[in-house]
Chain A
Amino acid sequence: MSHRGVGLAEGVSPLLLWALAGLLAIWFVLLLVEGRLRHAPLWVALSGLVTALLMGAAVLRPSLVTTRGTELFPKVVVLVDRSWRMRLGDGTTTREQVSLDTVRRLQSHLKAARVEVLGFGEGAAKPMPLAEASAGHRPTDSDLTAALRALGEAPGERPKAVVVVSDGRLTSPTDSSAPEAMRALGERIGAPIHTLRVADTSPPDASIRRAATAGAAVAHQKLALQLQVGCSGGLACDELPVTVEELLHGEPPSLLAQGSAKIRDGSATIELPFTLDRAGRRLVRVRLQAPAGDRVPENDVRILTFDVTRERVRVLHVAGRPTYDVRALRMWLKADESIDLIAFFILRTNSDATQTSDDAELSLIPFPVDELFTEHLPSFDAVILQDIDAVEYKLERHLPALARYVRAGGGLIMVGGPSAFMGGGYAGSPLSDVLPAVLPQQGAPFDTAPFEPRTTDAGRAAPTLRGVRELFGDQLPKMQGMNTLGAVRPGSIVLWEHPERRAGNAAMPVLSLGESGDGRSIALAVDGTHLLEWSELSERGAGRAYGALWEGLVGWLMRDPRFESARIELTHECRAGAPVELSVTRLPGAAVDVKVTLLPLGAGAEQPGPAAPMPDKQLRMEASVETITVALGVLTEGGYSATVRIGSAPPARFDFACERGGLAFADSRPDPALLERLARETKGVSLKADDVESLSAPPATRVAAERVTTPLLPAWLWALAAAASLGGHWYLRRRAGLV
């Protein structure tokens, strides 16, 4: 494409041009004034005007300019809302399908523009090939502000226009954003923002629009869950029941709270207080009973994840008799400021003769066994039973409740001694089912032959024993006997074993760890761990090994991340029906096998998730690899518990929720008004998606490739003509009698 025009000589500045124009204008005015005052003939004035123009041309030397080049199509950025919410639809088509169709039509309509399609959701917008539009992770948010900010800061060519394709239910800006903030978005880009609305009407829907708590979740402390329930799209809502349940491992969901939302003007707010007793990641399912006609059932259920913290770990320490081992444990527990210790020691048996006439001379109190193991049991994070006879001290009848407590997420440590394990009447009890090792029901309950426990491979790999091993290596103090235990239960781990005694085909476990339901348990079949502090060996660790052992044991019991063998997290939010991946990070070490087991939470209850365990995943981690990604496949809605075993180390567990709609579906109403406002404030236009062809492209930019300058006349000829004209003008003036 070429273009012709007239130019001036090089070096002619605008100042010179204006100065020359001014002089010529003055000359012409003087000529007119002179003609009037002296009645000069017209041809004198005309010759003067010609002379002035020729003199101007002699200075400016006009030339013919021919330009050859191209017209560059304008850059148009299309920002497509990629939120999971765009999967909402009207029953026949989803908002995502409408948006993709709109983008295709826009691309074919804006032929005279360079269209770049980006998907936005969280952070900067990313290129979105339409062919792969349905693949990949979808964000929960629709953060248009972040996308525009990143676009404005990106280097390179700025777009001439931005087109937003969305339903308007944006995370940012929102309908409460100020007009100035909206205008600033367009100014940042330097281009108008047009909006294409993919949905204008709300589906008939009752939903949990918002679920929030005031403050963090702390174990044993009441937490108020505030729910905003909405009803839209013409759905008839009055009073909608709401239930709140905790999803547990291997047990039906536990009801935490229930209530009803009274809908007024399309929404209601309801507060449901409840208490979570166990710390760590807890999954809470909130279920709204929607009325008939609800077209979006995905947002009737939310599965919330609470990271429940503890103010202090509340430990119940019960000992059957005071010994140096009891003393050491009590002093360690009392010295730890993060532990709230409740202790009961049996100081007198029925056969003891206190030599008193009145119990008032004694400081003893009755062992409140019934009160402790009924009313107060849920308030404890961990229970330590140290060498206490369950039968003699009437603990036996509470063992079923104690087993349930462990399965519900409590921690249990049984510490050895003559009255522990078999010797305390625990064999065959419900509590024995949650211990990591089987308790034989026949044979001697304990053996008093001295031995040095042997650390197993799992013990060497377990972070639980890291502190002890750093001080003592594989060496341990000699114990003066141990309780008789059977083989470890499947899934449990042995950290110390007896060098000679056997339990079935394996060495008898001395220290073993196990998981049962949501809880963890430890079986320590000796009563001499205080020798880690008080023995000739302890000198090597300056007495610190005892604290290191118990810090590891209680830490593992309470799922302290420092004592877990792996850190597990989701690579992104789990969505029902979409592929899920786990990221597993281990401590540096040798190549190991990794086994991942996935179980649904709340088994046995009515839930759409799989009822049976999913097949285990087996992987290999090479020595140089610290993090791997494990594909879990496509899951259905529900809570899940992933257990990862790294080599022989104790397993680490990670509970997570998989939702159908999640926060993204919480509010199904589109917001066309917001898109109209955004377009208006940024000098763009807002159109329905159907009217995409009405959108006009910005003007093209011309880019010059070649410029040819041809003088109209040679410079000397302009000068000669100006001089001749000046001479002619002088001659005519003389003839007219002018000077």
Chain B
Amino acid sequence: MSALGATLTSFTGSAAAFGDVGAFNPRIVSAGGRRLAGPRSTAPSSWSMELMNRTSAPARLVPKELGLDRPELSTEPFAIWAGDADVGPLTLGERRGLSKFIRLGGVLVVDDSDPQGGAFGRSVRRELLRILPESPPVRLDPSHVLFKTFYIVDRPVGRLLGPPTIDAIVRGKNAQVLFLAHDLLGALARSEDGGFPLPTEPPSYEQRQYAIRFAVNIAMYVLCSDYKDDQVHAPFLMRRRAQSR
């Protein structure tokens, strides 16, 4: 991963923000010291690289991993919490850290690497319900801005095709916690030779491309919030959707 990061750093060339302080940074968070291991640990760098290659957004190529109880969690507005097993009960410090992050307006992607089992997703929902009892997850409407922040996409896709909808914790007008049951990081993971070590299910080049597009859309949602919901975009987007049909 470090080699990949170094390669990508040299690729960024000119500065996109002073010290990249405002750049998209897909940080991995963990609870109880369970760190993300295996090919998926390369996914954040891959996510950043895809974002920079495809859009004008700057991104950090060597994202950090940090615990939910670390104060650094609330120094940036985005984090990914991925796993395939029950996270167990969060400590008081982890609950406080996560609560502060969300109340500040941060966006958290909860990516279940094993959605068929579903233990990770269920446990994270359980813990978040303890932290935000007033904000249970709701199903996002297919017209949600997440599906049009950069690419026009019809449904969420990851390494797994998964359900056609997303549940999210919405606070105010903002979807702040996105529950993915599609193994998005699995789709983004890269091997050292640049290949994709985890095959999509069903095997499909297009599915991986759609997964990358969906990841770019999430990044753009984090960076621009509901920009594409502005009235000025409405006639263009209606025309585009009509064309794509």
Contacts and interface: CB of A to CB of B under 8 A. Distances in A.
B71 A360 contact: no
B117 interface: no
Contacts of B100: 539
Given A324-B223, A361-B151, A352 B105 contact: no
Interface stretch (A160-168, A307-315, A523-531): A523-531
Given A352-B56, A353-B53, A353-B54, A364 B150 contact: yes
A663 B102 CA distance: 60
A432 B114 CA distance: 56
Contact of B240 (A328, A355, A363): A363
Contact of B151 (A326, A344, A353, A356): A356
Nearest to B21: A480
A360 B243 contact: yes
A295 to B, nearest CB: 57
A331 B220 CA distance: 14
* Chain A contact residues: helix, strand, loop or mixed: loop
A556 interface: no
Interface string B156-174: 0000000000000000001
Contact of B16 (A321, A334, A343, A356): A321
A334 B226 CA distance: 9
Interface string B220-232: 1011111110101
A361 B58 contact: no
Contact of B17 (A346, A349, A418): A418
B19 A325 contact: no
B18 A322 contact: no
B228 A363 contact: yes
Given A348-B55, A361-B244, A363-B149, A448 B19 contact: yes
A166 to B, nearest CB: 60
Interface string A339-371: 001111111110011111010111111000000
A332 B202 CA distance: 42
A539 B18 contact: no
A533 B105 CA distance: 10
Nearest to B228: A363
Nearest to A319: B224
A343 to B, nearest CB: 6
B17 A365 contact: no
B23 interface: yes
B148 interface: yes
B56 A349 contact: yes
Interface in B14-68: 14-24, 53-58
B177 to A, nearest CB: 17
A362 B152 contact: yes
A543 B23 CA distance: 19
A528 B22 contact: yes
A536 interface: yes
B76 A330 contact: no
B75 interface: yes
A346 B223 CA distance: 12
Contacts of B240: 360, 362-363
Given A334-B225, A528-B21, A534-B104, A361 B152 contact: yes
Interface string B118-155: 00000000000000000000000000000011111000
A326 B57 CA distance: 11
A452 to B, nearest CB: 13
Nearest to A349: B56
A533 B104 contact: yes
B236 A531 contact: no
Give the interface residue-count category, chain B.
Answer: 35 or more
A534 B17 CA distance: 16
Contacts of B244: 360-361
A344 B22 CA distance: 18
A330 B226 CA distance: 9
Contact of A321 (B58, B72, B232): B58
Contact of A347 (B15, B56, B237): B56
B113 interface: no
A322 B56 contact: yes
A324 B77 contact: yes
B74 interface: yes
A348 B56 contact: yes
Contact of A528 (B18, B174, B226): B18
A587 B152 CA distance: 53
A527 B224 contact: no
A355 B54 CA distance: 7
B22 to A, nearest CB: 3
A279 B232 CA distance: 24
Contact of A530 (B22, B224, B233): B22
Nearest to A446: B18
A476 to B, nearest CB: 14
Nearest to A372: B232
Contact of B227 (A325, A343, A538): A343
B57 A323 contact: yes
Contacts of A344: 232
Contacts of A672: none
B207 interface: no
A448 to B, nearest CB: 5
B18 A480 contact: yes
A67 interface: no
A416 interface: yes
A275 interface: no
A354 B50 CA distance: 9
Contacts of B99: none
A321 B209 contact: no
Interface string A405-429: 0000000000011100000000000
A320 interface: yes
Tell me which of B20, B222, B240 has the highest count of chain A C-beta atoms within 10 A of its own C-beta. B240
Contacts of B237: 363
A481 B22 CA distance: 12
A354 B54 contact: yes
B225 A323 contact: no
B211 to A, nearest CB: 12
Nearest to A317: B227
B223 A326 contact: yes
A362 B75 CA distance: 31
A327 interface: yes
Given A343-B230, A355-B209, A322 B220 contact: yes
A347 B228 CA distance: 11
A475 interface: no
A360 B237 CA distance: 9
Contacts of A346: 56
A91 to B, nearest CB: 63
B75 A535 contact: yes
Nearest to B107: A327
B223 A327 contact: yes
B19 to A, nearest CB: 3
B69 to A, nearest CB: 14
A479 interface: yes
A234 B100 CA distance: 81
Given A353-B53, A530-B22, A534-B75, A345 B224 contact: yes
A324 B233 contact: no
A215 interface: no
Contacts of A326: 22, 223-224
Contact of A331 (B56, B75, B105): B105
A443 interface: no
B56 A526 contact: no
Given A334-B226, A353-B54, A356-B151, A342 B232 contact: yes
Given A330-B225, A534-B76, 17 more contacts: A322-B57, A322-B223, A323-B58, A324-B76, A325-B17, A326-B224, A327-B222, A353-B53, A355-B54, A358-B243, A360-B243, A362-B151, A363-B237, A387-B17, A528-B22, A533-B104, A534-B104
19 contacts: A321-B56, A322-B220, A322-B227, A324-B76, A328-B77, A331-B105, A344-B232, A349-B56, A352-B53, A354-B55, A363-B148, A363-B152, A363-B236, A418-B16, A448-B18, A531-B21, A534-B77, A534-B104, A543-B104
3 A-B pairs with least C-beta separation: A480-B19, A481-B18, A323-B22
